[in-house]
Structure 1
Amino acid sequence: MASPEGAARMESRTIDVVPESERHGTPRSQFTLWFGANMQITAIVDGALAVVFGADALWAIIGLVLGNILGGAVMALHSAQGPRLGLPQMISSRAQFGVYSAAIPLVLVVTMYLGFAATGTVLAGQAINETVGVDARWFGIVVFGALTAVFATLGYRYIHTIGRVSTVVGIIGFSYLGIRLATQHDISSLLGAKPFDIVTFLLAISLGAGWQLTFGPYVADYSRYLPSDTPAPATFWATFAGSVLGSQWSMTLGALVAAIPASQGGIGFLGNQVGFLGDLAGGGAVALAIYLVIVVGKLTVNCLNAYGGFMTMLTTVSAFRRTNQVGQVVRALYIGGFIAASVAVAIFASADFLTSFRNFVLVLLMVFTPWSAINLVDYYLISHEQIDRDALYDPDGRYGRWNLVALTSYAVGVVAQIPFLAQTLYTGPATKALGGADISWLVGLVVTSALYYAWARRTTSSVAVAEPVWDAGQHAR
């Protein structure tokens, strides 16, 4: 992949370190990937939920801005690790958890990817069916699954290419939808229609922050090919700007759409998201173009889910098999199996099951904030960006098999959030006392960070190892 000719080949790297000879690109690629991945219909739905749950559109938009900024900062700090380490995100967490125990949160991470892939595939499938005029529900789902399989299997370069395409078509398509919304409805009447409410405002913040935090377990997967001398602030800001601007644009559109009253033609966006956007576009050929915008945006993020799911599964298995490489056939089988599972769920699951499954996935968000806290605190404050990369693949190395400090801090961080949850499946007592406000993600970050930092700084020795130089054959010298 270091040469132009190599750009046409399937990616060969998986969970192994990317050698300097294969590094390429600039931080700008992080902006287009994450901007494109967030210019999509599910982000619109996320913004709409803030209004559906009772927030005024104006305060919902402000809350979403704050949530995206806070969560985006955490997410971008993970991205900045990629060029320095040249590693997928979840492999680097072995430095905190140990080679074996790093697999514990990975099972839940795969479940999250599968849930988002399945529910996103349903929406993309609807858009494909509308585009080609096919009624069979399975048709669009299978076509979209096949497209995802191709790009996710080809790997890093192609996923970034889809991100650039999604950025362009997303800007054009969403700008048009915004213009249509402004000309067809009285936007000013949608803002400030309700008084400020702290509970719904905090909910909007949580929706924005939670959206960004879900990218944390795989964001460095897409920055690890950048040259190792890429300034960390450049990677941080490019990722942060792309993800926050893209998601906020989409969520703002969602909040405004959800606020349209029946008197202005509001028809319940959440009941028919794809059809609503087609109608907003004006129908006809323009609606078909918007359906294609939806497909491209969902394809970008679905490739991230499939690629991240593959990396996560391989990280888990490799811990016990003591390997850091797999062949391209095995790679394709991992990705194909993941996508087949997501397509099967999308086809055979009922609407009620998909709703319940998505709610379950949202509850799982509480397992990612403690993981992020431990990974970031250790990398930036304890290890000071020094990682013994050889030891990440060796259960008998300096990081060992299990790390009691990280596991205990992680468990405490998860349990601490339970009283503060406000989800469909469960509402905690602290949340009820707060009037329904969900601040669980903030509790998870603060409690886990404080406990892990205080404990790990006393028990973790500095990484006094020379940084290895990696040649094209992936051998340290």
Structure 2
Amino acid sequence: MDIEKRSIEFVPHEERYGHPKRLFTIWFSANMQVTTLMVGTLGIVSGLSLIWTCLAIVLGVSIGTVFMAAHSSQGPHLGIPQMIQSRAQFGVIGAGFPLLINYLAFILFTAANGVVMRDAIKAFLDVGDNTAIILFGLISFIIGYVGYELIHRLGALMSALSGGLFLIVVGFTLDMPLPHHALDISQGFKAAIFGLVVMQSASWAIGFGPYVADYSRYLPKNTSDKQTFWFSYLGNVLGAALVMLLGALLASLLKDVTSNPVIAISGLFGPWAKVAIIIMVMGVIEINALNLYSAYMSGMTMVSGIHGMERISRKVKFVVMGITALIATLIAIKTQYNFNAYFSDILIAQIYFLVPWSAINLADYYLVRKGQYSVPDMYDANGQYGKYNVSTMVIYLIGVLSTVPFMDLSFYHSYFAQVFGSDQSWIPALIVPAALYYFWNKNKVSVKATPSYPNH
């Protein structure tokens, strides 16, 4: 399999291929892994009953994935990476503003995955904590560097392997006695924690938004928007919801699953424990490769806007992605012994910075420009989108600031977070910037749409 030759540039029509059903397997498998399962345990750990945790998970994932799948539909139509499209809203250089936030978010999640997999790798390799994290990062880097096609093929493989593994785990739980009142809907409800779990679950789904079109951009331009949306939506909803629900169930049955999920789950397999561990490690390697791949895309989109670059060499890709993997690995090593607070904070904090970007991007694509863009101008700082769009940058900042009165982190508890008992900042983060962007631009935007390069 050849190393992917395309990067941040437009994918020519003659190089487009595939069917949107591939989007189902990549997003289903991306969620069929232990980090997703850990999100499902958070409600139980916080004291919410099993039945209410499950309802909150389904609600949050179902809502959050709407925005994720809406971004996915942009890929075949424009044929460019997700964050390049942000240049139409922020300007060719101004897009570096949200890009930096996305780049950092991808790195933090990559680091979190390294910590989660540390003990799993040590279970079948005689290595230390730091070495295990380094090995995990190295394998993720290799897959991310090879690129798009390998990631999709791995997604198809892991849909079968991880899906089968977790299905067997469900079978193991059938004989385990549930805690008293776990399924009694009249008990165990805590409004604040219920709202928090909805937000965390929605945050997980929305978090794919900044890179979801990276994995649909090679599809033919005439691919149905509805098919792109629904294959992405169903893959993500089913993958995320099922694994999170399993996480909630396991947290109710096996207390050590919250501290060492891989070892707790593999212990159910007896002599097949190491096989189960390897499959779980492979599952997280896949999502880690996605994170690294898209972190590289965001990083290069940010830099290329300044220098007017349209194509990136494989050598530059190797260096930039390697540095990104190294940074994530160092963060993982540094935070590995204080992981619970770290993971909860980044899961919530991405709401503050990624959701306002998502709201602006979707408002522009579906309400203001209605999918009509000039792709060549997204690579030209002197084109119609300009270098900076100050009004969009201000709206983005207002969107971020709108979350401050609702923030709830391990080191800061806002007024409304204390009133409601949980962080609900995702609601203003979606509504405020989308509304402001739409009403500011609905009568101002005039675009000479050129969806592709004329000579392609």
- TM above 0.5, yes or no, is yes
Is 1:339 aligned to residue 325 of structure 2? yes
How far off its partner does 1:215 sit?
0.6
Q: 1:137 to 1:248 in 2, by over 3 A?
A: same
CA distance in 2, matches of 1:349, 1:427: 22
Q: Match for residue 6 of structure 2?
A: 13
How far off its partner does 1:418 sit?
1.0
Residues 407, 414 of structure 2: 8 Å contact kept: yes
CA deviations over 1:244-297 (Å, ceiling 9, x no partner): 10011110011112223xxxxx43322222221122x2433x211221121111
Residues 203, 347 of structure 2: 8 Å contact kept: no
How far off its partner does 1:427 sit?
1.9
How far off its partner does 1:88 sit?
0.4
CA distance in 2, matches of 1:444, 1:28: 31
CA distance in 2, matches of 1:421, 1:347: 27
Q: Match for residue 321 of structure 1?
A: 307
**1:41-440 paired onto structure 2 within 5 Å:** 41-132=34-125, 134-186=126-178, 190-192=182-184, 194-260=187-253, 266-279=254-267, 281-284=268-271, 286-352=272-338, 355-356=341-342, 359-360=345-346, 362-434=348-420, 436-440=421-425
SS at match of 2:9: coil
CA deviations over 1:83-111 (Å, ceiling 9, x no partner): 00000000000001111111011112111
Amino acid at match of 1:287: A
CA distance in 2, matches of 1:400, 1:212: 31
Is 1:37 aligned to residue 30 of structure 2? yes
Question: Please, which runs of 5 or more residues in structure 2 have no aligned partner?
Answer: none
How far off its partner does 1:225 sit?
0.2
Amino acid at match of 2:400: V
Residues 335, 342 of structure 2: 8 Å contact kept: no
Residues 33, 242 of structure 1: 8 Å contact kept: yes
CA deviations over 1:297-330 (Å, ceiling 9, x no partner): 1011001110011000000100111011111111
CA deviations over 1:153-190 (Å, ceiling 9, x no partner): 11000001111111111111001111111223337853
SS at match of 2:416: helix
Amino acid at match of 2:386: G
CA deviations over 1:132-171 (Å, ceiling 9, x no partner): 3x14223322222221111111100000111111111111
How far off its partner does 1:437 sit?
3.0
Q: What is the CA RMSD across the aligned residues, in angstroms?
A: 1.8
Residues 115, 358 of structure 1: 8 Å contact kept: no
Is 1:465 aligned to residue 449 of structure 2? yes
CA distance in 2, matches of 1:218, 1:415: 24
How far off its partner does 1:398 sit?
0.5
CA deviations over 1:192-247 (Å, ceiling 9, x no partner): 27333322221121111000111111000000000000001100000011111001
CA distance in 2, matches of 1:357, 1:333: 27
Amino acid at match of 1:93: S
Question: Please, which runs of 5 or more residues in structure 1 have no aligned partner?
Answer: 1-7, 261-265, 471-475
CA distance in 2, matches of 1:13, 1:307: 12
Q: Match for residue 473 of structure 1?
A: none
Q: 1:227 to 1:350 in 2, by over 3 A?
A: closer
Amino acid at match of 1:270: T
Amino acid at match of 2:413: T
How far off its partner does 1:50 sit?
1.4
Q: 1:318 to 1:195 in 2, by over 3 A?
A: same
Is 1:442 aligned to residue 427 of structure 2? yes
Amino acid at match of 1:283: G
SS at match of 2:403: helix
After TM superposition, the score normalised by the length of structure 1 is 0.91
How many residues are aligned here?
455
How far off its partner does 1:351 sit?
1.0
CA distance in 1, matches of 2:127, 2:451: 57
Amino acid at match of 2:19: T
CA distance in 1, matches of 2:312, 2:333: 30
CA distance in 2, matches of 1:352, 1:333: 30
Greater than 6 Å deviation, 4+ residue runs: none
Q: 1:50 to 1:15 in 2, by over 3 A?
A: same
How much identity, in percent, do the aligned residues show? Answer: 34
How far off its partner does 1:466 sit?
4.1
Q: 1:91 to 1:316 in 2, by over 3 A?
A: same
CA distance in 2, matches of 1:323, 1:331: 13
CA deviations over 1:398-440 (Å, ceiling 9, x no partner): 1011112211211111111111122223221112222x13221
Moved more, 141-150 or 22-31: 141-150
CA distance in 1, matches of 2:193, 2:255: 22
Q: Match for residue 25 of structure 1?
A: 18
